Amino acid sequence: MSPNQSVHPPPAQSARVRTAVRVIGITAAVATACTVWLGLWVTPPDVTQGNLVRLVYIHPGVAWVALYLAFGLAAVASLLYLWPRTRGLFWDRLAAAAVEVGVVFNVCTLISGSIWGKPTWGVWWAWDARLTSTAVLLVLFLGYLALRRVPAEPEVRAKRCAFVALFAAVDIPIVHFSVLWWKTLHQGATVLNPDLSPTIHGSMAWTLLLGFVALTLVFVWMLLVRYRIGVLEDWLGTGELDVALRERQAEGAPLDEDQAA
Amino acid sequence: MAPPAPPSPAVFLHDAVALSGRFPLLAGVDLEVAAGETVLVEGPNGAGKTSLLRVCAGLVPLASGRVAVLGLDPVRQRLQVRRRMGLLSHASHLYDDLTVRENVRFAVRASGADPTRIDGACERWGLTGRVLKTGASKLSAGQRRRVALAVLTARWPELWLLDEPHAGLDASARRTLDGLVAEAQGSGVTVLIASHETGFVEALASRAVTVTGGRVTASRPIVSPGAAAGPPVALPGTDGQAVGQVAHVA
Amino acid sequence: MWRDAALVAGKDLRIEARSRVALSQVAPFGILALVMFAFALGPDRSLMAKGAPGLFWVAVLFCTVLAVQRSVSVESVDGARDGLRLSGLDPAGLFLGKAAAIAAQLLVLEAVLCVGVVLLYGARVEVPWLLAVSCLLGTIGLAATGTLYGALSAGLRVKETLLPFLFLPIAAPVLLAGTRVWQSALAGGIPADGSQWLRLLAVFDAVYLALGVVVFGPIQESA
């Protein structure tokens, strides 16, 4: 029996899932396009902030995805992986996909926040609780991804990364409150008001909502695609296991093969 | 009258597959060792002898198949299994900055054994006087082995897993080891010895299994030294099909 | 569990007493860090005195990384980590023992660094008990998280570069809290309410000690 015959085909994605992913992708693209159109052309500029306020359609959206959706999902999935009853590589792959996509959104949050902050506050960065927590979260995410790169068996790697995610999940609230107290208790002479919320009404409110929905859909679509890539990556590894088992066993019985020939 | 139920084996493996990354250390091992038996595990380099012992110690989890050591799961109930078993591996697990005596004391107390046995064990292995106060970094390989064996002697667990125990030992230490294993046999300890130095160890074992290609491929009984050993029995199905249970020698 | 913890802590501290790595390498490194900070901040003494709390805690964090790496590398020689697993030691006890040993070394290091800060930066201590309590609480938190991350990165070849990267963000609250308390304790500091920060440190310590006791076993087995 030739070794190649033992390689299984990749795990199939059911037609329903494929259609769902496609639908989500198209909806996300359409929603984003609408948001861009509405945000840049249709809605009026703000009284105080002028055209800069158009960032409100993007920035809170990416921030919500990065800080709560991606991070929360990664934390919950990691917890479910560690819990013996629900342990399964599905949760590990989901967490890793969430972290990776979350990094992208996190960087977008920081960049959009900086762009908004420079004209408003005069500086590229302000040490307020939310921005700082976002930055720390980014570093923790990158640490998770660095750990994931280390070659190891899938279960070992999954466990390690899940612990890192767990510790990060515990730490981020503490960091957030620390920085919050740090800023508010410090009676320094800063006039920086990190509260950027302008008054929102009318078409702006609808566009804002659409922005949230669009970005969430983009996240979900990227998550599903990344998850599928993870499944295929793992399949590529296990397909070789049958071959390896056969080769290993053949080490012990060279005579048998001669007799069978 | 119905025969009494056989006592549960000290070591039981069924179709055990253990992986290291993508490499199968064990590719389907079937083995049963009764309590109090001494079994020799033979095989060429890289066959999986060390991996077999490590699986029994619970250091390597199984990818598939079943394993039971002293009736317990060595991975799920690892603390209980490890306190009742001793693994002598290639490494001696010594701390370079501590003296021999401190190392033995720590190892014995860590596994919950009786510390009063330490002095007797050290003396048996020739670790007396100045050697006891020497830092572990200054020991030769053979002396490190002696220290590890002294720890095992002081602990005296129910199951001994010895991986190439004679490697690095001089003639007198080998005699001490042979005497130790004989004494262990007498006290009902189960011993699994992995070695390809079949000359020395054969005298001690009651049965020898051969491991090749990550599987147990042969088993032969060992009669008293001097008489010819029985011919090796190749187990049916070693060409890739499932292997049946190994019948154990009474 | 406590018996195992005491055994492991004793073993680690005895190794430290023999090899004196913390005393002869990590402590001088800490002092060196303080000197480097002084160079970086320029000759303005009042600036250094103002920055003393933060610089102290940053130096402590760097020393923690070194101490944790030393604690991990002690177990890498001759398969000692496998030996610890095989001995059937309670993993929770192993965690507490190793953390306790690191904490003890850190406390000595902090005493040295404290003296260094007073001498080099001209900082004046107004409320010593606040210093001591913050150091104690901060040390416990650093030792607990350091031990956890040390175990996570133990078997990896890239652990020297990975450990600081993973550990330091987690230790950030200790840095923040410790600095604020020290600022209250030193002369010329902001008279903020220190007890809030002490409570934060206590919560941090409790959370990570509890986490460590629970998850150290699984971490060990997956190395």
Structure tokens at C194: 């220190």
At residue C83's C-alpha, the angle toward residues C77 and C86, to 5°, is 160
pLDDT, position A49 = 67
Structure tokens at A127: 């040490």
Contact flag C211-A143 (C-beta cutoff 8 Å):
no
- B79 vs C7, C19, C88: nearest CB: C88
For residue range C57-86, list pLDDT tens digits in order.
999 999 999 999 998 888 888 778 888 888
Structure tokens at A67: 């800080």
Structure tokens at A152: 């190891």
Helix locations, chain A, DSSP H:
15-37, 59-63, 71-82, 89-121, 129-149, 154-185, 203-250, 254-260
Q: Quick one: which H or E segment has residue A139?
A: helix A129-149
Contact flag A249-B27 (C-beta cutoff 8 Å):
yes
B67 neighbors B55 (Cβ within 8 angstroms): yes
For chain A, the first-to-last Cα distance in angstroms comes to: 11
Q: How far is C9 from chain B (nearest CA, A)?
A: 11
The CATH T-level fold of domain B1-84+158-234 is: Rossmann fold (3.40.50)
Q: How far is C222 from chain A (nearest CA, A)?
A: 5
**Mean pLDDT score across all residues of chain A:** 78
Contact flag A163-C180 (C-beta cutoff 8 Å):
no
Q: Which residues, at least 6 apart from A197, have a Cβ–Cβ distance to it below 8 Å?
A: A56
- A143 vs C169, C173, C176: nearest CB: C169
Show me where the domains of chain B are located.
1-84+158-234, 89-156
A9-13, A236-240, C43-47, C63-67: which is most confident? C63-67
Tens-digit pLDDT profile for chain B (250 aa)? 566 656 778 888 888 888 877 778 888 888 888 888 888 888 888 788 888 888 888 888 888 888 888 888 888 888 888 888 889 988 888 888 888 888 899 998 888 888 888 888 888 888 888 888 888 888 888 888 899 999 999 988 889 999 888 888 888 888 888 888 888 888 888 888 888 776 666 777 788 888 887 788 788 777 655 444 445 555 554 443 333 333 333 3
Interface residue C12 vs chain B (CB under 8 A) = no
Residue B82, CA distances (Å) to A3, B65, B76 in order:
39, 21, 11
Closest CA to B202 of B181, B216, B172: B181
Show me where the domains of chain A are located.
16-187+215-231
At residue B116's C-alpha, the angle toward residues B115 and B118, to 5°, is 70
**Mean pLDDT score across all residues of chain C:** 86
For residue range A41-76, list pLDDT tens digits in order.
777 776 666 777 777 778 888 888 888 888 999 999
Count how many pairs of residues, chain A against chain C, have C-beta atoms within 8 Å.
85
Query: Distance from CA of residue B120 to its chain's centroid?
Result: 22
Report the alpha-carbon distance of residue A80 to residue A89 in Å, rounded: 10
- B27 vs A240, A248, A260: nearest CB: A248
Measured in degrees and rounded to the nearest 5, phi and psi for residue A139 equal -60, -40
For residue range C25-65, list pLDDT tens digits in order.
888 899 999 888 888 887 788 888 888 888 999 999 999 99
- Edge-first strand order for the sheet with B159-163 is B85-88, B159-163, B190-194, B38-42, B207-212, B215-221, B233-234
Contact flag A249-B23 (C-beta cutoff 8 Å):
no
Count how many pairs of residues, chain A against chain B, have C-beta atoms within 8 Å.
52
Q: How far is C24 from chain A (nearest CA, A)?
A: 31
For chain C, give the number of residues: 223
Contact flag B82-C85 (C-beta cutoff 8 Å):
yes
- B59 vs C7, C18, C82: nearest CB: C82
pLDDT, position A238 = 66
Contact flag B217-A250 (C-beta cutoff 8 Å):
no
Q: How far is B178 from chain A (nearest CA, A)?
A: 30
Report the alpha-carbon distance of residue A179 to residue C199 in Å, rounded: 15
Structure tokens at C184: 């209250």
Residues of C in contact with A139 (CB under 8 A): 165, 169
Q: How far is B240 from chain A (nearest CA, A)?
A: 7
The position carrying tokens 């900082």 is C123
